[in-house]
Structure 1
Amino acid sequence: MKLRIISSALLMIAIVGAGCVSNKKFAQLQTTYNDLLNQNRALDSKYQIAQRDLSGATARVQSLEEQIASQRTGLAALQAALDKCLNSTSQGNTNISKLVDEINASNRYIQHLVNTKNKSDSLNMVLTNNLTRSLSREELRDVDVQVLKGVVYISLSDNMLYKSGSYEISPAAGETLGKIAKIIMDYKDYDVLIEGNTDNVPISQKNIRNNWDLSALRASSVVQALQNNYGVDPKRLTAGGRGEYNPIASNDSDAGKMKNRRTQIIITPKLDQFMELIEKAPEPTEGAAAADSTSGS
């Protein structure tokens, strides 16, 4: 629909231009064209964000489906062993109840994985929406927020944060960083890693030896801004640089290089908190353990 509107606007401009309209009329048509072009770019940006969200969700679904398939394979093997025991000696019959316990435990774990998948997808979507609702549409073009297994990933484009080839934070980035700081403060018990990334174009600045230096300096600038300007506890913060060696796109195009030039803020639970996020499999019953011992003797 947007493309048809833009095409119509272009046709109108061409027709009016051919008719030698006044400068005022032409300027109005030019403004209309620019507005439509900006709307098209905004829709394209939202499409790219939706594609990244879809890719992350697909990966999570695939991982859980693989676990479910593995458990179902194990269940089939246990069922086959049970069928064999039904036709065996009295010693085999003694282990039937123990094998049934294992089958029941496996069934419970399969249901547990299904429930965890549904709960995880819903929770991650709610958290992502809550974290991004304070960001404007313009900010969302330069800020990508994702939640995966309880870890918050916030990726900031270098175009928004810094001037080209510099590690000094631009004044225009202050408002967005303030909103990011609010997210970090909401996760007050979690550690925060600030990770700088560059493209593969060599840096040529005084006192900056290479892209390793540039990425680390950029991460350090963000850490110090969060500490000095927004009151984030420095004990929670870690600054690190990965240079050009952690790309998310090809450096063969300008668009790919722009994606690779980013600073990522990773809000991670501490070890004890992370363990609480992990849903453990049900422990085997005593009967199942005895069945393993008997079958191995």
Structure 2
Amino acid sequence: MKTIKIVSLMLLLVILGQACVSKKKYNTLQSNYDSLNVNTESIIEKFRISQQRLNLSDERVKSLEEQLASEKSNLLQLQKALDKCLTSTGQGNVNISKLVDEINASNKYIKQLVDSKNKSDSLNLLLTNNLTRSLSREELKDVDVQVLKGVVYISLSDNMLYRSGSYMISETAGDVLGKIAKIIKDYKGYDVLIEGNTDNVPINMVNIRNNWDLSALRGSSVVQALQNQYGVDPKRLTVGGRGEYNPIASNDTEMGKAKNRRTQIIITPSLDQFMELIEKAPAESSK
């Protein structure tokens, strides 16, 4: 009985001690909790985007593997026909020669499929490295670079580019735009599309009717900065605005809306330039 009383007294002291936590300490703990909660949401969103990219890569690999399996099946059928031809007394040398040519052609196509996949992966890596090598770790938080089938997509957040609630370029955007301008000028002759995107919150500004206007004006601001401040040839530049109709995340959360408020710079090589890049792509090491 004495032990129970002692335990009860200790529990009472713990409860009283917790009740005596200062409001300042409570606010600090609450602030830390909120910060951790925001960081958790950010990590979850980054994981979701990475998963989407991985799924796209898996689909391309699956398509190439299916083509590879089909060609291997064709090769097997041709080999069986050749074996039958060799054991048959009624087949002539002409048919044998034709089958050998078909087998060689099939083998060549299989090798081309394998080389195509290796070149594609290497090309994407080469372009991504070239584009991001001059950006700092902090800048890369607001800059997303993707390379899909030789086309470069550079996505810039509106927090980094524009003044709050405006389409005017902010002072802090200069360094990143300067580096992107250098990339554009390094790849001479490439076509460049600057495309504005917004979230789905209606705009309420004088002389701006809707998010279509805002997205186009933001794209135009980037184009004019690249032309007037960084000397990019305007003949290579095209402006586009997609308003709220090209989201990459849900507009149901603030984080999703922030993802959707972005400007994309799309760099597209011509066929000759694309082939030149393929030739520069590092070869896969033989196994």
Scaled to the shorter chain, the TM-score interval is 0.7 to 0.9
Q: Distance in 1 between matches of 2:156 and 2:189?
A: 22
Specify every segment of 5 or more residues in structure 1 that has no aligned partner in the other structure, as ranges: 1-16, 21-28, 280-297
> What is the aligned partner in structure 2 of residue 108 from structure 1?
108
- What code does the residue aligned with 2:206 have? K
Whether the 8 Å CA contact 2:123–2:277 is kept in 1: the answer is no
Aligned with 1:245: secondary structure? Answer: coil
Distance 1:264 1:66, change over 3 A: farther
Task: State the aligned residue count.
Answer: 264
> What is the aligned partner in structure 1 of residue 71 from structure 2?
71
Q: CA RMSD in A?
A: 3.7
- TM-score normalised by structure 2 residue count: 0.73
Q: Distance in 1 between matches of 2:183 and 2:48?
A: 23
- What code does the residue aligned with 2:234 have? P
- TM-score normalised by structure 1 residue count: 0.71
1:136 Cα deviation after fit? 1.5
> What is the aligned partner in structure 2 of residue 188 from structure 1?
188
1:184 Cα deviation after fit? 0.8
Q: Distance in 1 between matches of 2:154 and 2:45?
A: 17
> What is the aligned partner in structure 1 of residue 201 from structure 2?
201
Q: Distance in 1 between matches of 2:200 and 2:37?
A: 31
Between the two proteins, what is the percent identity of the paired residues?
76
Whether the 8 Å CA contact 2:42–2:255 is kept in 1: the answer is no
Whether the 8 Å CA contact 1:191–1:267 is kept in 2: the answer is yes
> What is the aligned partner in structure 2 of residue 283 from structure 1?
none
Aligned with 1:95: secondary structure? Answer: helix
1:144 Cα deviation after fit? 0.8
1:71-102 Cα shifts (integer Å, max 9, x gaps): 23433444455466567784676323212212
1:259-297 Cα shifts (integer Å, max 9, x gaps): 121111111112443466689xxxxxxxxxxxxxxxxxx
Whether the 8 Å CA contact 2:199–2:258 is kept in 1: the answer is yes
Q: Distance in 2 between matches of 1:36 and 1:243?
A: 32
Larger radius of gyration: 2
Aligned pairs (5 A) from 1:264-283 = 264-274=264-274
1:185-240 Cα shifts (integer Å, max 9, x gaps): 11112111111112222222222222221111111111111000100000111111
Whether the 8 Å CA contact 1:86–1:93 is kept in 2: the answer is no
Aligned with 1:230: secondary structure? Answer: coil
Specify every segment of 5 or more residues in structure 2 that has no aligned partner in the other structure, as ranges: 1-16, 21-28, 280-287
